Structure 1
Amino acid sequence: MADSPLKDRTVVVTGAARGIGAALAHRLARRGARLALLDHDEPALRATAAVLPGTTLALRVDVTDRAALDDAAETIRGRLGPPSVVVANAGIAEGGPFARSDPGTWRRVIDVNLIGSAETARAFLPDLVRTAGYHLQIASLASIGAAPMMSAYCASKSGVEAFTHTLRAETAHHGVAVGIAYLGWTDTELIRDADRYPAVRELRAHMPPPARHVQTVETVVARLVHAVEQRRTAVYIPRWLRLAQLTRAAIPPLVLRATRRNLPRLESETPLRPTGLLGPGGRSDATS
């Protein structure tokens, strides 16, 4: 799109090998952006980059590795120019009872989703100050209302919400805009894998009808690109999540009431065990 403000701008997307990150890269490329795609899964990342139009740089990076992020930022600066947009999208998830979770896996979810998001901002913030750019943090319904069986994921997404608000306040006077995207359930490989496990499948099944709905990746990325072009402070996908934000104090008692009713039945039917890292991205992370 010739009239997009992203045309000929350098845009960084983390977690770009598959899912929302890959679909977002496709739409950004059609807007004429110069793309720098980061992911730890190099084969999947290069497959995504190979079919994109325009200028694309694919770099294998673990977002928890500060030195690797700094090297990536220097490479992007030199080959594409300083980024005007950074989308912190990299994330992993596991499900299951906290008490039975593997401590290393639990910590890894926090490290990738929260620490990795902060390190991404740290690496590219000098560029965004230089370009008066835009940083978009991908968050979740889990940032607004924590749910059982997803303790590490919910903790990490609540953390990135607080981090985003802090970063926005600290950088606004430098001309940097910082946004946050609250996403509901989205039809990615991660969610399809999660539905194989009773602990996570039942969690979604007992949510109110709007909250359990799974939206298409295409719907999500269309709104994300619009948010980037408009430098939005917050975007809620689907839109009703804004109402959840306004009434979030009421969510924990409702969750507690539902789980007290349903968890005993679930535990009597089948042992609730940890899922391990979900989806092909999670499995790749676990073996890298």
Structure 2
Amino acid sequence: MTDGPLRDRTVVVTGAARGVGAALARECARRGARIALLGHEKPRLDAVLAELPGPALAVEADVTDPAALDDAADEVRGRLGPPSVVVANAGIAEGGPFAMSDPAEWRRVVDVNLTGSAHTARAFLPDLLRTAGYHLQVASLASLGAAPMMSAYCAAKAGVEAFTHSLRAEVAHHGIAVGIAYLNWIDTDMIRDADRHAVLRELRAHMPPPARRVLQADDVAARLVRAVERRRTAVYAPGWLRLVQAGRGALPPVVMRLSRRQLPRLEAAGALNPTGPLGAGGRADRAAHGTGA
């Protein structure tokens, strides 16, 4: 594209080594943005970097490390200019019964998804203040309705939603816009890995047919970038998640009834086992952070 709201703007994307983060970086670059890729796995970040058509850099940083994020912000600022857009996308997940979960791995899911998102916002808010910029927080269907066997992820994504609403109210008078993206199943390493585990495969199988559909990362990225360009307060992928937002109060009893019917069968079959970190991104986080076995 030769023109548009992102032309010559600096965009920061965390969790950019793969999946939605990488797809989002490619789409923003296609629209003329300067891209800063943040995350684990420097070789993967460099591979994404090599695909981008314009000015860009890759910075290896753990979003749960405030000092590393401050250093990353300094590098982005110095090499690409102050960001106008920051997308807090980094996230990991694990599945299985809460009672059987490893406490360190459970806490790590919350730290990356929730605390890491807050650290990301803190590191880049001075830049967004300078540019009257836009902060997009990637959330989930799990923010709207908690599911069994995903307690850490659901708790973190619910927390992320509350944090986003609070931050938006705090910074609006400074000209900073804050949005939240509610995403459902997307064809990423995390979801493909989840489908290998009976407990999570069954979780998706018992959702209504539209809710089982797996979206392509590139399609989701295009939807998110359009929301960024319009500084949207909320974006839903797929769009029908707006209906879940409207009826979210009805979800807990529905989930309870399904769980009472299905979990005893899975428990009897020995299928309720912890999954450990899901996907290559989860395993990379474990390797970098040293959490779990």
Band the TM-score falls in, shorter-chain normalisation? over 0.9
Q: How many Å separate the matches in 1 of 2:45 and 2:96?
A: 29
Q: Which moved more, 1:134-143 or 1:262-271?
A: 262-271
Correspondence for 1:177 = 177
Whether the aligned pair in 1 keeps the contact of 2:84 and 2:128 (CA below 8 Å) is: yes
Matches within 5 A, 1:138-153: 138-153=138-153
1:202 equivalent in alignment to 2:186: no
Structure 2: gaps of 5 or more residues: 289-293
Q: How many Å separate the matches in 2 of 1:287 and 1:3?
A: 41
Matches within 5 A, 1:107-256: 107-256=107-256
Write the deviation string for residues 102-155 of structure 1: whole angstroms up to 9, x where unpaired: 001000000000000000000000100110000000000000000001000000
1:50 equivalent in alignment to 2:50: yes
Correspondence for 1:10 = 10
Write the deviation string for residues 150-204 of structure 1: whole angstroms up to 9, x where unpaired: 0000000000000000000000000000000000101111100100001110111
Deviation at 1:208, TM superposition (A): 1.2
Q: How many Å separate the matches in 1 of 2:120 and 2:262?
A: 39
Which SS does the other structure have where 1:86 is aligned? strand
Correspondence for 2:34 = 34
Correspondence for 1:91 = 91
Q: How many Å separate the matches in 2 of 1:87 and 1:25?
A: 10
Which SS does the other structure have where 2:236 is aligned? strand
Q: How many Å separate the matches in 2 of 1:80 and 1:111?
A: 28
Which SS does the other structure have where 2:58 is aligned? strand
Q: Which moved more, 1:262-271 or 1:238-247?
A: 262-271
Amino acid at match of 1:238: P
Whether the aligned pair in 1 keeps the contact of 2:29 and 2:35 (CA below 8 Å) is: yes
Which SS does the other structure have where 1:262 is aligned? helix
Deviation at 1:270, TM superposition (A): 2.3
Q: How many Å separate the matches in 1 of 2:37 and 2:253?
A: 41
Q: How many Å separate the matches in 1 of 2:55 and 2:3?
A: 18
Q: How many Å separate the matches in 2 of 1:179 and 1:8?
A: 21
Q: How many Å separate the matches in 1 of 2:178 and 2:251?
A: 26
Amino acid at match of 1:203: L
Which SS does the other structure have where 1:58 is aligned? strand
Whether the aligned pair in 1 keeps the contact of 2:30 and 2:53 (CA below 8 Å) is: yes
Amino acid at match of 1:48: V
Q: How many Å separate the matches in 1 of 2:95 and 2:4?
A: 39
Amino acid at match of 2:183: L
Q: How many Å separate the matches in 2 of 1:177 and 1:2?
A: 25
Deviant stretches of 4+, over 6 Å: none
Q: How many Å separate the matches in 1 of 2:75 and 2:27?
A: 23
Q: How many Å separate the matches in 2 of 1:3 and 1:176?
A: 22
Structure 1: gaps of 5 or more residues: none
Deviation at 1:3, TM superposition (A): 2.1
Amino acid at match of 1:50: A
Which SS does the other structure have where 1:11 is aligned? strand
Write the deviation string for residues 25-82 of structure 1: whole angstroms up to 9, x where unpaired: 1111111100111001111111111121111110000000000000111111111110
Amino acid at match of 1:26: R
Matches within 5 A, 1:64-79: 64-79=64-79
Q: Which moved more, 1:103-112 or 1:206-215?
A: 206-215
Deviation at 1:209, TM superposition (A): 1.2
Amino acid at match of 1:13: V
Counting aligned pairs with the same residue, the percent is 73
Deviation at 1:218, TM superposition (A): 1.8
Q: How many Å separate the matches in 1 of 2:2 and 2:128?
A: 23
Correspondence for 2:104 = 104
Q: How many Å separate the matches in 2 of 1:265 and 1:213?
A: 24
| Paired positions, count | 288
Correspondence for 2:257 = 257
- Give the aligned CA root-mean-square deviation in angstroms: 0.7
